Amino acid sequence: MIGIQPVDKIRAAEREFAEANPDVNLMLRAADQVAELAERMVPSGTILVVVGPGNNGGDGLFAARKLVRDGRRQVMVWPVAGTAHPQGVVAARQVGIRFLNDLEVGRLLPDIALVIDGITGIGGRTGLPENVHWFAEMCDVLKIPVLAIDIPSGLAAEDHHRPAHVLAATRTITFAAPKLCHLAQPAASACGDVEVADIGLELPKSNLRQMQRMDVARWWPWPTPYTDKYSRGVLGIDTGSDRYPGAAVLPVTGAVYSGAGMIRFTGPDRLADLILHKLPSVTVGSGRVEAWLVGCGWSEEGAEQRFGPILESGVPLVIDADALRYLPKRLPEGSLLTPHAGELAELLGISRPEVEDDPVGKAYEAAERWETTVLLKGATQYIANPFEKRVTLAIAGPSWTAQAGSGDVLAGICGTLLAAGLPAPKAAALAASVQAMAAARKPGPFPPDVVAQAIPEVLVHLAELADQPVLAGDLTPRSIAAQ
Ligand SMILES: NC(=O)C1=CN([C@@H]2O[C@H](COP(=O)(O)OP(=O)(O)OC[C@H]3O[C@@H](n4cnc5c(N)ncnc54)[C@H](OP(=O)(O)O)[C@@H]3O)[C@@H](O)[C@H]2O)[C@@H](O)CC1
Ligand SMILES: Nc1ncnc2c1ncn2[C@@H]1O[C@H](COP(=O)(O)OP(=O)(O)O)[C@@H](O)[C@H]1O
Ligand SMILES: [K+]
C-alpha cells in the first residue's frame, strides 16, 4: 500500500527535516534526482528547462546546472515568469547556461531532446500560466518528451481534475510520496510514468492510499489443502430480470472466474437456464450462503420483494445497481455498496457533477451515512472505509473497461471475496484491482465476460508473487516424480 500525501503534510515534513538537518539542502537532493532521471531519458541532446517563480523552478535550475556536465551537454533555461529562484539563477549562470525568451524558445523547440518542467509543483493552482499555453501545445504536437518535476504544471497536487491546459508529461518525478493528482483520473493521465524519489523526508501514515500488486497477492484468499467448496465460501446471487438478462450472467461470470467456492443463483428461472448454458458449475435455488450479491439488472418491478428476505438473512451483502435505491437505514454488518457516480449522487441526493468534483469526499460521506464500505466505480475506483476512516484507490486498468456490464462482473468478484470471509474494504479493493489487472492483460474492446476469463491468469501471476504453494498443484514428492 502506498500512502498518498496532502501538500500540508509534505511541507510540514520538509520543515521538520530542515530543523533537524540544517546542513542538508533538500532542493539539491531533489535536483540531483531530476538530473539523474533526465540523463536516463535522453543520454544526449539539448535539454530545455522551463522554470517558474517558485522552488519548483529552483529544482529545475539546479538540475540544469548538473546536466551541463562541464559543458558536454547543451542545456537552456526559459524563465516563464520573468523572475526565478535567485540562487538557482546564479548557479545556472555560473556554468554558462543560456537563458531564453519566448521567441527564442519557439524557434529552438523543434531541436530540443527533452523539456524539463519546473514551472509549478506542489504550490501550483489548477491551470497553466497563459503565456505557456502555446508551448504545451507545441510540445504535444512535436512529441517532445517532457519530464515534470514533482507535478505536471497545470495540475494541482490534491486535485484529480485535468484542466484544458496542462504541460502533459512523459514522466513525472515526485518527491517523498505520490499526491492525489498522480494517481486519480483524469489528472493522472497528464503525469505519464510516475517515479517517487526518496529525498529523506519522514511522512506520517496517510488515510488516503493506493493498492499495490503485492497487497493483492498478500490478501487474496488462496485455497489450501484444507479447503473445500464450502469453506471457500458460498455466494448467493440474485440478479437480472427479463429486461436485463445479461445482468444475471455477468455477475455470475465474475464470481466463477474469481474462484467462488460455490454459487447459488436465485434469480428468475428463465435466466438460470441462460447461466447454466454458459457456466454449468452454478447451482440454482436457495440454501446456506456466506454472502449475497443483489441488484444488478433488477429493474424496478418487484425489486423490493426480492430484496426483503435477503436483507433479513443477516449475511454481508454486495449491493449494486437497482438495489441501491432500496437501502434500509441499517445494513447487515460487513456489507458493501458498489455505486457508480450517478448512483452515488442519487444515494446522497446531490448531482452527479458534485460527486465527480469530490469523489473521495462523497464516497466517504456515503460510507459514514450507511456505516458501511462503499466502492465508488469509475476510471479511478475509490474504496471508502468508515471503520478505519480511510479511502483506498484500487489499482487502475485500461479505459476499455468503461462498457456496460463491467460493473456487473466487478460485483460478482466482490461477492466471491465477501463470501470467502474477507472484510468488505479488502474485498472491494481486491476485486476492483484484479478486474483492472485482468483488463490490462486484455487491452482492447473485449467484452466484460471475456475480461473476467483473464482473472485466473492474473491470479497465477499473483500467486507466484506471493510464493503461494497453491500453484504447485502437483504435490508429488520430487524423488517420485523424477522416476
Ligand atoms: N516541499 C518539499 O519537500 C520540497 C519541495 N521542493 C520543490 O519545491 C516545490 C514547491 O515550491 P513552492 O512552494 O515555491 O511552489 P511552486 O510549485 O514552485 O509554485 C509556486 C509559484 O507558482 C505560482 N503559481 C502557482 N500556480 C500558478 C498558476 N496556475 N499560474 C501561474 N502561476 C502559478 C505561485 O504564484 P502565487 O501563488 O504566489 O501567485 C508561486 O509563485 C515542490 O513542488 C518541489 O519541486 C524541493 O525543492 C525540495 C523538497
Ligand atoms: N475510464 C475507465 N477506465 C477503466 N475502467 C472504467 C472506466 N470507466 C468505468 N470503468 C469500469 O467500468 C465499470 C462500470 O460499472 P457500471 O457503470 O456499474 O457498469 P454496468 O452497470 O453496466 O455493469 C466499473 O467497474 C469501472 O471499473
Ligand atoms: K512542474
Asked if residue 30 has pLDDT above 90, the reply is yes
Q: Determine the 3-state secondary structure of 409 from DSSP.
A: helix
Could you tell me whether strands 46-51 and 317-319 are parallel, antiparallel, or unpaired per DSSP bridges?
unpaired
Q: Is residue 55 part of a domain?
A: yes
Distance, first Cα to last Cα, the chain: 45
- Whether 156 and 229 map to the same domain: the answer is no
Transcribe 166-177 into DSSP letters. ----SEEEEESS
Average pLDDT over residues 149-178: 98
Decide whether any atom of ligand 2 lies within 6 Å of the 320 Cβ: no
- Whether 179 and 235 map to the same domain: the answer is no
Buried b (16+ CB within 10 A) or exposed e, 412-426: bbbbbbbbbebbbbb
- Whether 120 and 246 map to the same domain: the answer is no
Asked if residue 90 has pLDDT above 60, the reply is yes
Q: Annotation-wise, does 176 bind a ligand?
A: no
Q: Whose CA is nearest to atom 46 of ligand 1?
A: 27
Q: Which three cell numbers stand for residue 333?
A: 454488518
In this prediction, residue 477 has a pLDDT band, given cuts at 50, 70 and 90, of low
Q: Annotation-wise, does 54 bind a ligand?
A: no
Asked whether the beta carbons of 471 and 464 are under 8 A apart, the reply is yes
Asked if residue 474 has pLDDT above 90, the reply is no
In this prediction, residue 475 has a pLDDT band, given cuts at 50, 70 and 90, of low
- Whether 296 and 441 map to the same domain: the answer is yes
Q: Whose CA is nearest to atom 1 of ligand 1?
A: 11
What is the rounded distance in angstroms from the CA atom of residue 63 to the CA atom of residue 367?
45
For a pocket test of ligand 2, which of 250, 340, 356, 393 has the largest count of ligand atoms closer than 8 A to its C-beta?
A: 340
- Whether 272 and 331 map to the same domain: the answer is yes
Decide whether any atom of ligand 2 lies within 6 Å of the 407 Cβ: yes
Residue numbers of the domain that contains 35: 2-206
The 3-state secondary structure of 194-211 reads EEEECCCCCCCCCCEEEC
pLDDT at 69: 82
Residues 355, 358, 363, 365, Cα dihedral to 10°: -100
Q: Annotation-wise, does 156 bind a ligand?
A: no
- Whether 120 and 169 map to the same domain: the answer is yes
**Would you call 474 exposed, middle or buried from its count of C-beta atoms within 10 A (0-12, 13-18, 19+)?**
exposed
Q: Is residue 478 part of a domain?
A: no
Last residue of a domain, one of 151, 176, 206: 206
Q: Is residue 475 part of a domain?
A: no
Ligand in nearest proximity to the CA of 159: 1
Whichever domain contains 430, its CATH number is 3.40.1190.20
Asked if residue 44 has pLDDT above 60, the reply is yes
Q: Which has the closest alpha carbon to 212: 196, 191, 223?
A: 196
Q: Annotation-wise, does 247 bind a ligand?
A: yes
pLDDT at 468: 79
Q: Determine the 3-state secondary structure of 342 from DSSP.
A: helix
- Whether 237 and 193 map to the same domain: the answer is no
Sequence length of the chain is 483
Decide whether any atom of ligand 2 lies within 6 Å of the 214 Cβ: no
Asked whether the beta carbons of 206 and 176 are under 8 A apart, the reply is no
pTM comes to: 0.95
Q: Is residue 131 part of a domain?
A: yes
- Whether 415 and 281 map to the same domain: the answer is yes
Last residue of a domain, one of 190, 206, 222: 206
The 10s digit of each residue's pLDDT in 226-283 is: 899 999 999 999 999 999 999 999 999 999 999 999 999 999 999 999 999 999 999 9
Q: Is residue 477 part of a domain?
A: no
What is the rounded distance in angstroms from the CA atom of residue 29 to the CA atom of residue 55?
13
Decide whether any atom of ligand 2 lies within 6 Å of the 402 Cβ: yes
Decide whether any atom of ligand 2 lies within 6 Å of the 343 Cβ: no
In the DSSP assignment, the letter for residue 331 is P
Could you tell me whether strands 146-149 and 112-118 are parallel, antiparallel, or unpaired per DSSP bridges?
parallel
Q: How far is the CA of 119 from the centre of ligand 3 (A)?
A: 5
- Whether 199 and 283 map to the same domain: the answer is no
Pocket lining for ligand 1, CB < 6 angstroms? 10-11, 14, 26-27, 30, 52-59, 120-125, 127, 129, 149-150, 175, 199, 201
Whether the CA torsion 183, 293, 448, 232 is positive or negative: it is positive
Q: Is residue 435 part of a domain?
A: yes
Decide whether any atom of ligand 2 lies within 6 Å of the 321 Cβ: yes
Q: Is residue 483 part of a domain?
A: no
Percent over 90 (pLDDT), the chain: 93
Asked whether the beta carbons of 128 and 154 are under 8 A apart, the reply is yes
pLDDT at 299: 87
pLDDT at 482: 54
Strand ranges for 198-302 from DSSP E? 208-210, 234-238, 262-265, 283-284, 291-294
The 10s digit of each residue's pLDDT in 389-414 is: 999 999 999 999 999 999 999 999 99
Q: How far is the CA of 56 from the centre of ligand 3 (A)?
A: 6
- Whether 94 and 202 map to the same domain: the answer is yes
Q: Is residue 479 part of a domain?
A: no
In this prediction, residue 53 has a pLDDT band, given cuts at 50, 70 and 90, of very high
Average pLDDT over residues 78-90: 97
Q: Annotation-wise, does 461 bind a ligand?
A: no
- Whether 313 and 411 map to the same domain: the answer is yes
Question: Which residue is associated with the grid cell 472505509?
Answer: 385
Longest C-alpha distance within the chain, in Å? 81
Q: Determine the 3-state secondary structure of 340 from DSSP.
A: coil
pLDDT at 225: 87
Whichever domain contains 198, its CATH number is 3.40.50.10260
Q: How far is the CA of 378 from the centre of ligand 2 (A)?
A: 5
Mean predicted lDDT score pLDDT of the chain: 95
Q: At what angle do helices 455-465 and 246-257 cross, to 10 degrees?
A: 20
Ligand in nearest proximity to the CA of 85: 1
ipTM for this prediction? 0.94
Transcribe 345-377 into DSSP letters. HHHHTS-HHHHHH-HHHHHHHHHHHHTSEEEE-
Ligand in nearest proximity to the CA of 338: 2
What is the rounded distance in angstroms from the CA atom of residue 170 to the CA atom of residue 150?
13
Last residue of a domain, one of 156, 174, 206: 206
Instruction: Name, in order, each residue with C-beta under 8 angstroms of 95's C-beta and a sequence gap of 6 or more.
Output: 65, 68, 71
Overall number of domains in the chain? 2
- Whether 52 and 172 map to the same domain: the answer is yes
